[in-house]
Structure 1
Amino acid sequence: MEEPAIKIKKDIIVISGSSGLIGTRLINELAKKYLVIGLDNIGYPFPPITAECVCIDITSDKSMENAFERIRFAYGNRIASVVHLAAYYDFSGEPSPLYQKITLEGTERLLRVLQGFEVEQFVFSSSLLVYDSTKPGINITEESPVNPKWDYPQSKVDTEKILRSKRGKISVMNLRIAGVYSNEGDSIPITNQIQRIYENQLTSHFYPGKFDRGNPYVHLDDLIAGLIKAIEKRKEFSGMTTINLGEPETMSFIELQNEIARLLFNKEWKTYKIPKFVAKTGAWVQGLFGDSFIKPWMVDLTDDHMELDISRANKMLDWEPKHRLRTTLPKIIDNLKSDPQKWYKENDLKPPSDLKEKQSEK
């Protein structure tokens, strides 16, 4: 094999989906130690300048092959880790061929090209949503049954099967990740719940599910730390290893509801349980008059519950989340109060017409 055009001593990390929330933060941290190559769509947005940008069309064999020929020419045949963050997701609940084209076939295409390289590790960003629901007090482990209930987690389960059969000799770290949030928000379910209460929307006072159920989350900083741990410990693993990353404490819906209201208005929020058929009808009607976050299909999932056993992450990766959603909520709410317009924009939320008046009231 010919010598690479650029001789470097740093290990090479390749990250797909490199311009996203997770990819951007991960690249900036990894660039302190590694040479990072960011794979992303052609055109804006681009990965951070701390990474070399290699544009690809993940649905094209030719584009994928050209991208990795470019990497081989410049840096050679050795890649320490490929962190695969690129995937399709859509909260509308509508079926989409993009799950197949991007998440499944895109991953298979990437694995196929990597067989021609010396790759130490492939990190896949899966989701805790692949698991079957549990009950309060019953933890989910990596051996718990899977039961994806909509297209996004189903695409993750199907892609995990591809990884098992198509990885060749590449070691795979399959990380099933909880919902990601940050001090600014950056979590669609959390920020929408905050928005409904902040605006005193009628829907903020009604809920069709069991109040004591909820889902785990993980702070962006802790997720980045977990990904870095997985990369640093890559030589300790072989085959395919699945590890859950999330906080060991799950806040229930009503705990979140009341804590958000306390932080915003210093009072308990009046919340009433309604039948599921009423909630579905209401969500459908709202959808007629705007792009409401709450969709009829979500109503069936309101009784679902997950809480995590993260002992494997602790043992294998020496990872323990330093943050908790409960103690980060005050920072998220403070950011909203201090600059509502900025908070709405950063969280891609449609502001109410009286947002300026709300800001002046604070």
Structure 2
Amino acid sequence: MTEQRPAVIVTGSSGLIGRPVCLALAEHGYDVYGFDRVGLPEPPKEHEHVTDVECDVTSYSSVRGAAQRVRELTGGKLASVVHMAAYYDFSGEPSDLYEKVTVNGTDRLLNALEPFELEQFIFTSTMLVHEPCEVGQHIQEEDSLQAKWPYPQSKIDTERLIREGHPNVHSVFLRISGIYTDFGRQPTLVQQIKRIYEKDFQGHFFPGDPRSGQSAVYLDDVVDAIVRTVERRHNIHSKTAILIGEPDPPSYESLQEEIGRQLHGKEWATLHIPKPVAKVGAAVTDKLSGGEAFIKPFMVAMSDDHYALDISRAKELLGWQPEHELMSMLPKILQGLKENPDQWYQQNGLKR
């Protein structure tokens, strides 16, 4: 008789991270149940050990129905739940969807999971829940939390909900940095590349400290960290937070220079502009574009923010550290742009 594989639920299973996480867990010996809304894209159900389960986290009846289906298939035993379904909007504007999808959606899911024998619940959070550090320092998991816009605030609120509202759940919080791929995808990175590629005059100006930078992490490295978290679930204490990202980010200035060299054969000059002037400029540009401009006035105040990470805990608990570095991967990202600009723009959700 074939031994039953341990079961894992992955929410947001058709997304950028969710799809490869499903496949990786299936290859590591798990039966994976991919929770996602109906319609395209779908979880990788072509894999024999990945099952597509329709689930809308904004509807308790949908969540309860999805959980019941998995309970019938697994006997009510789950090795882990990797919860990635959440609302995200880079505009910085408040939205009821943060509470409806991210916070309350998590609550609905955990309520529906109460009948299960659940060994672990992983919540994918963000490094942005932390207050930024000074250049030369590194953020640790115990450092203070400070959300500067609604997206990280929703993650703080959800972490608190899990800790206080579901204290008996064996929870782990992965605070992940900005994720990049072979073709870019990380929003601030691809917008920076776009400005320089198009020789946008505004791309020469920066209101912050050019030495500052923000940790990023390659998609495959994130998937590896999540799989390791599941695999080591019996050795990680409940309510543990773990920072996941490249420890020492390249500075804004060094990225500017390297992108300019790769695309135009010379360094891209970066000039300082006072924050009040930059804020007015961003507001005017956004107004003229009908609200379509990427740089919003609220971002100007955060231009000095530096996010370098102390990943000692990830090394200790997961045996994890990133195998890739953004500066080493940058030539591949830019090569894709040079070879097929239309495809690169489409892959990154950009307009030309």
Which residue identity does 2:176 align to in structure 1?
Answer: I
User: Following the alignment from structure 1 to structure 2, what is the Cα–Cα distance between the partners of residues 160 and 170?
Assistant: 12
Does the Cα contact within 8 Å between 2:236 and 2:317 map onto a contact in 1? no
Does the Cα contact within 8 Å between 1:214 and 1:305 map onto a contact in 2? yes
Instruction: Give the root-mean-square deviation of aligned CA atoms.
Output: 1.2
Give 1:81-100 correspondences, 5 Å limit: 81-100=80-99
Which residue identity does 1:298 align to in structure 2?
Answer: M
Give 1:97-116 correspondences, 5 Å limit: 97-116=96-115
Deviations 1:265-319 (A, max 9, x none): 1211111111112211221222123211111110010011111110110011000
Give 1:184-223 correspondences, 5 Å limit: 184-223=183-222
Quote the offset at 1:166 in angstroms.
2.7
Consecutive unaligned residues in structure 1, runs of 5 or more: 1-6, 352-362
Look up the SS of the partner of 2:124 in the other structure.
Answer: strand
Does the Cα contact within 8 Å between 2:121 and 2:171 map onto a contact in 1? yes
Partner of 1:23: 18
Quote the offset at 1:168 in angstroms.
4.2
Task: Give yes or no for the alignment of 1:236 onto 2:235.
Answer: yes
Deviations 1:211-255 (A, max 9, x none): 111110011111111001001001112321111001011111101
Partner of 1:354: none
Quote the offset at 1:75 in angstroms.
2.2
Look up the SS of the partner of 2:17 in the other structure.
Answer: helix
Q: TM-score, normalised by structure 1?
A: 0.93
Give 1:1-362 correspondences, 5 Å limit: 9-32=4-27, 33-49=29-45, 50=47, 51-290=50-289, 291-351=292-352
User: Following the alignment from structure 1 to structure 2, what is the Cα–Cα distance between the partners of residues 281 and 309?
Assistant: 35
Which residue identity does 1:36 align to in structure 2?
Answer: V
Aligned structure 1 segments of 4 or more residues deviating by more than 3 angstroms? none
Deviations 1:58-103 (A, max 9, x none): 1111111111111112222001110000111111111100001011
User: Following the alignment from structure 1 to structure 2, what is the Cα–Cα distance between the partners of residues 340 and 311?
Assistant: 39
User: Following the alignment from structure 1 to structure 2, what is the Cα–Cα distance between the partners of residues 260 and 214?
Assistant: 15
User: Following the alignment from structure 1 to structure 2, what is the Cα–Cα distance between the partners of residues 168 and 140?
Assistant: 26
Tell which deviates more after alignment, 43-52 or 61-70: 43-52
Q: TM-score, normalised by structure 2?
A: 0.96
Deviations 1:303-361 (A, max 9, x none): 1111111011001100011100110101101111111111111111102xxxxxxxxxx
Does the Cα contact within 8 Å between 2:138 and 2:308 map onto a contact in 1? yes
Look up the SS of the partner of 1:123 in the other structure.
Answer: strand
Consecutive unaligned residues in structure 2, runs of 5 or more: none
Which residue identity does 2:131 align to in structure 1?
Answer: D
Look up the SS of the partner of 2:182 in the other structure.
Answer: coil
Deviations 1:134-177 (A, max 9, x none): 11111111111111111000111111101112334321111100
Deviations 1:177-199 (A, max 9, x none): 01100111111110110000000
Which residue identity does 1:97 align to in structure 2?
Answer: D
Which residue identity does 1:307 align to in structure 2?
Answer: A
Does the Cα contact within 8 Å between 1:128 and 1:177 map onto a contact in 2? yes
Which residue identity does 2:334 align to in structure 1?
Answer: I
Does the Cα contact within 8 Å between 1:115 and 1:168 map onto a contact in 2? no
Which residue identity does 1:112 align to in structure 2?
Answer: N
Tell me the percent identity.
Answer: 45
Look up the SS of the partner of 2:56 in the other structure.
Answer: coil
Which residue identity does 1:345 align to in structure 2?
Answer: Q
User: Following the alignment from structure 2 to structure 1, what is the Cα–Cα distance between the partners of residues 263 and 196?
Assistant: 8
Cα 1:90/1:143, change in 2 over 3 Å: same
Which residue identity does 2:293 align to in structure 1?
Answer: S
User: Following the alignment from structure 1 to structure 2, what is the Cα–Cα distance between the partners of residues 329 and 112?
Assistant: 43
Counting matched residue pairs gives 345
Quote the offset at 1:8 in angstroms.
6.5
Partner of 1:357: none
